[in-house]
Amino acid sequence: MPDAPDRVATALAHLPDTPGVYLWKDATGTVLYVGKAKRLRPRVRSYFASDHWDNPKTRTMVAQVADLETIVVPTEAHALILEANLIKEHRPRYNVMLRDDKSYPYIKVTLNEPYPRVFVTRKVVSDGGRYFGPYTDVAAMRRALDVVKRIFTVRSCRYDMPREMPERACLDYHIGRCKAPCIGAQSRADYQLMIDEVVTFLDGRPDEVVRRVRSRMEQASEALDFERAAEYRDAIAKLQWLEEPTVVLEVEGGDRDVVGYARDGEDAVVTVLRIRGGKLLARDHRFLEGVEGEADGAVLSMYLASTYLNAPARARELLLPFDFEDRPLFEEALGEAAQLRLPQRGPKRELLDLAEQNARHLLEDFKLAEQETDQRAADPVYELGQVLGLEKLPRSLVCFDNSTAQGKDSVGSIVWFENGRPRRAEYRTMKVKTVDEADGPDDFQSMREVVGRYFRRRLDEQKPLPDLVVIDGGKGQLSAADEALTALGLQTLPLVSLAKREEEVFLRGRSESLKLPRRSPALRLLQQARDEAHRTAVGYNRKRRTMRTVTSELLKIPGVGPMKRRALLTAFGSLQGVKDATVEQIAALDGFSVSSAQKLLHALGVASATPGEPSAASTPVDAPDSTAPSTQDPENAP
């Protein structure tokens, strides 16, 4: 752990014990990291203590630090907002960053002007205008803008009215797209009333606009102004026709924003479902990068501080997927503008599940686009990563199991699951070598050996390691596997075990077991991997017992040694295959003649046959093909 540079050491000695923001800089003055603190002195000094040194990203950053700048603020809530603004300004390398932070468009209504306009912008400015968005789906934004232009006669000119007034109306007036307030053909009050309806429509309340327009239509009809009433009638028809396509889903009444979150290693996605008047109208999302080593709460806090706090249109209620340390600061910063909720059940929890499903879908799209995977991860993979508290999604997992029969033929099996699905090309089996069968079975030592040999070979061959290791067994088997991984320097590889009796999940370094609901998709995925490993281990154990029996039978025959025995098994696959073979087939093997083939069949209890004729026990239809692939030699297994 290096000492602080001279300039930093001087600054550390005089840090205030107040809320504030700190900026780590390198020798060139470039900002490396921006952070906030409730108390600057202990927070900043901790970077040169042992607290942060388990994080590789922090170690790398501190090694580059040459200078420190601090900004004192009145409260921690102020520090939260200032931190977000400084991150946007400097874009430090070691902060969690939003992808395409400024690329999403908004629809702006210039309420700060006497005769407001409606147009698309990508820049949000605090100038009194009203912004709707951001629209991650640009097509949806274009549809909304098209509705506004077709139903509402909003001016498209850029005159600074009423200071600038043209002498004649433009083409929009003659084709019915504008009522020409620029020449006094439409009063300012009437124009402002129309703008109020535009804002209401863009705010996701078209039914309210319909109600207002219908009221004015009835008033015009009573006043015998049938031409104006017909205009209102046509506007209502268009609104009613367009209302349904803008509504994605009917949910519980009220206005709320629902946050979904998904993460996989260095990448994360946050989605926000915008619900207005009980209708799900849109989905916004952001990709975040550089989240490795950061807690989920810190990532969510960073998103909310940099994006949601400055959002021009927020709902009165914000639903969050989980709690985080900075939540009181957000409640303080938002004040009465929004209430934060953490629903655990009911309709609001279902909305959170929908938002998280959207986040997972977007993250999978991103991974596929980046060609980091060739198939989508199943939902149980996400749930498994969540319940186990894994930073990286367990897209690949291996499961180990051992099998023995009456203290003999101890074997191990390894099965590989990719994105929640078996990948049989990566299955492995091996014979346990370090357990003396004379001393009886030792499941712990067998597990230690199998895990150690498997991962040692993967390291030697530079093959990718799995994201999660699963052991069939309880605490003892888990401890044995942990010892094997630690000996190889893999002590940080996620490791769990699944005990059969109560289906308890044991985690490395945690004394209490984790009990998942019986219907949990994550538990079912673990059970599927465990059962597949058990089936593979039992099958290999049975195969070894059969081979041992065959070997014993063949070696009892005079004149058949290890080389001839191997040739027979390679050619015919089993003892029955040898019995079903003809004298001519056996004689064609290296080391055999017609005479020795006849003696072999006679010793196996098969009546001798003349060359070219099948033996008495032969069943040609079921006889194995001598060209079939040979079984794997156990000694050559990994």
pTM here is 0.57
What contacts 608, CB < 8 A, 6 or more positions away?
A: 583, 598, 601, 602, 615
Could you give the CA distance from residue 20 to residue 209 in angstroms, rounded to a whole number? 46
CB of 492 closer than 8 Å to CB of 508? no
The DSSP line for 308-354 is: ITT-SS--SEEE-SS--TTHHHHHHHHGGG-EEE---SHHHHHHHHH
**Letter string b/e over residues 592-602, b meaning 16 or more CB atoms within 10 A of that residue's CB:** beeebbbbbbe
Please give the structure tokens belonging to residue 549. Answer: 């029996």
The proportion of the chain whose per-residue pLDDT surpasses 90, expressed as a percent, equals 14
Q: Name the residue with tokens 């893999």.
A: 490
Q: For strands 256-264 and 106-109, give the pairing.
A: unpaired
The reported pLDDT for the residue numbered 529 is 92
The reported pLDDT for the residue numbered 505 is 92
Could you give the CA distance from residue 257 to residue 338 in angstroms, rounded to a whole number? 10
The reported pLDDT for the residue numbered 554 is 67
pLDDT in tens, 512-539: 888 888 888 899 999 999 999 988 888 8
Amino acid at site 189: A
Q: Name the residue with tokens 């952001």.
A: 286
* Rounded CA Rg of the chain: 36
Nearest to 286 by CA among 374, 355, 373, 387: 355
Strand partners, 478: none
Cβ count within 10 A of residue 466: 21
Q: Which long-range CB contacts under 8 A does 223-230 form with residues at least 24 apart?
A: none
The reported pLDDT for the residue numbered 419 is 87
Query: How far lies 382's CA from each of 226, 362, 364, 521, in Å?
Result: 60, 13, 11, 10
Could you give the CA distance from residue 586 to residue 602 in angstroms, rounded to a whole number? 13
What contacts 241, CB < 8 A, 6 or more positions away?
A: none
Sign of CA dihedral 612, 615, 616, 618: negative
Please give the structure tokens belonging to residue 401. Answer: 């199991």
Could you give the CA distance from residue 231 to residue 116 in angstroms, rounded to a whole number? 22
The conformation of residue 244, written as its DSSP 8-state character, comes to: H
- Backbone dihedral angles phi then psi of residue 497, each to the nearest 5 degrees: -130, 155
Q: Which domains does the chain have, with CATH numbers?
A: 6-95 (3.40.1440.10), 106-204 (no CATH), 256-369 (3.30.420), 384-541 (3.30.420.340), 556-636 (1.10.150)
Could you give the CA distance from residue 258 to residue 357 in angstroms, rounded to a whole number? 12
Containing H/E element for 203? none
**Letter string b/e over residues 604-622, b meaning 16 or more CB atoms within 10 A of that residue's CB:** bebeebeeeebbeebeeee
Could you give the CA distance from residue 86 to residue 90 in angstroms, rounded to a whole number? 6
Could you give the CA distance from residue 588 to residue 617 in angstroms, rounded to a whole number? 19
Could you give the CA distance from residue 11 to residue 8 in angstroms, rounded to a whole number? 5
Cβ count within 10 A of residue 351: 22
Please give the structure tokens belonging to residue 580. Answer: 């079903």
The reported pLDDT for the residue numbered 371 is 58
CB of 273 closer than 8 Å to CB of 354? yes
The reported pLDDT for the residue numbered 54 is 63
pLDDT in tens, 162-174: 888 888 888 888 8
Query: How far lies 417's CA from each of 399, 420, 452, 467, 505, in Å?
Result: 8, 6, 19, 10, 18
Nearest to 89 by CA among 72, 101, 103: 101
Q: Torsion angle, CA of 321/322/324/330, rounded to 10 degrees?
A: 40
The reported pLDDT for the residue numbered 615 is 44
The reported pLDDT for the residue numbered 469 is 95
Amino acid at site 619: T
Could you give the CA distance from residue 633 to residue 430 in angstroms, rounded to a whole number? 10
Q: For strands 421-422 and 408-418, give the pairing.
A: antiparallel
Amino acid at site 311: A
Strand partners, 403: 411
Q: How many residues does the chain have?
A: 638
Could you give the CA distance from residue 481 to residue 508 in angstroms, rounded to a whole number? 10
Residues of the chain with pLDDT under 50: 1, 101-102, 243-250, 608, 610-638
Cβ count within 10 A of residue 547: 17
Could you give the CA distance from residue 246 to residue 110 in angstroms, rounded to a whole number? 23
Could you give the CA distance from residue 2 to residue 61 in angstroms, rounded to a whole number? 12
Please give the structure tokens belonging to residue 271. Answer: 């989605």
Q: Torsion angle, CA of 360/366/372/378, rounded to 10 degrees?
A: 20
Please give the structure tokens belonging to residue 631. Answer: 């079984």
Could you give the CA distance from residue 302 to residue 316 in angstroms, rounded to a whole number? 21
Q: Name the residue with tokens 């993460």.
A: 263
